[in-house]
Amino acid sequence: MSSVAVQTRLTPEQYLILERKAATKSEYLSGERIAMPGASREHNLITGNILTNLNNRLVNRECEVYASDMRVRTHQPPSYIYPDVTVVCDEPRFEDDEFDTLLNPTVVVEVLSPSTEAYDRNEKFARYKQLTSLQEYLLVSQDRVCVEHYLRREPQWVWSEFRLLEQVLPLVSIRCELPLHAIYRRVRFDA
C-alpha cells in the first residue's frame, strides 16, 4: 500500500517558529513555505553594491538599510518575504520583539534571477503594494544593465527604466541617488 504525502498549510505563527529555527530561508505565501534559491555571483555583487551605496548615501540620515535576511510582512493574505535590500526611513516597526520582520519598508529592491523574475514582478510586487509605507520598488537585472523603478504616485505606480551605466537613479522617497555604474560595479555581462 502506498502512502500519499499531504500538504499541510501553516499559520503565520507556525511559519515564524519554523523559519526562526531553519538553516535556510523560505518565504511564506498563502499558507505555504517556499524555499529560497541560492544566488549567483552577479546577484550577490549587485545586492552588495546597492546595500553599500545606500548605506554610504544615508549615513547621516535617520534611515536603516537591511540586507536580504530582513523579512517583510504583508497582510492580505499574510505573507513573509525576503527582499534583497530594504530601506526604512521612518521609525522601523517590527512584528514582535525578535526584530527580524519589518512592517514598514520605504524602498524595496529585488535583484532579478531567471528562476524568480516572474514571481518578483507579479506576485511579490502585488503583495508589497499593500504596504502603505512602501514608496519605491526596484527590479534590477543581473544579466544586463537595466533597473526598473516603480514610484508610488497615488492612485497608481509610475514606472521608469534605466539602461545606461551613465544614468543616475533618483530615489525620491529617501532623497538620494544611485548611479547605475555603482550598482553594476565589477559585474561582467556575457557578450
Give the span between the Cα atoms of 180 and 159, in whole angstroms: 17
Predicted confidence (pLDDT) per residue in 139-173, tens digit: 999 999 999 999 999 889 999 999 999 999 999 99
Report all structural domains of the chain as residue ranges with CATH numbers, in order of start.
39-183 (3.90.1570.10)
- The pLDDT of residue 191: 61
Of the pLDDT bands very low, low, confident and very high (cuts 50, 70, 90), residue 37 is confident
- Specify the long-range contacts of residues 177-183, CB closer than 8 Å, at least 24 apart: 177/57, 178/50, 178/53, 178/54, 178/57, 180/145, 180/147, 182/49, 182/53, 183/46, 183/49, 183/50, 183/53, 183/140, 183/147
Mean pLDDT across the chain: 93
pTM: 0.93
- Cβ 75 vs Cβ 130: under 8 Å: yes
Give the span between the Cα atoms of 112 and 119, in whole angstroms: 9
| 24 half-sphere exposure, CB direction, 13 A CA radius | 8
Of the pLDDT bands very low, low, confident and very high (cuts 50, 70, 90), residue 7 is low
Segment 116-123 shows an average pLDDT of 93
Of the pLDDT bands very low, low, confident and very high (cuts 50, 70, 90), residue 38 is confident
Return all residues near 108 (Cβ < 8 A) that are at least 6 apart: 72, 83, 85, 86, 87, 128, 134, 136, 137, 138
Of the pLDDT bands very low, low, confident and very high (cuts 50, 70, 90), residue 72 is very high
Grid coordinates standing for 12? Answer: 503565520
Burial of 125 (0-12, 13-18, 19+ CB in 10 A): middle
Would the pLDDT of 101 be above 70?
A: yes
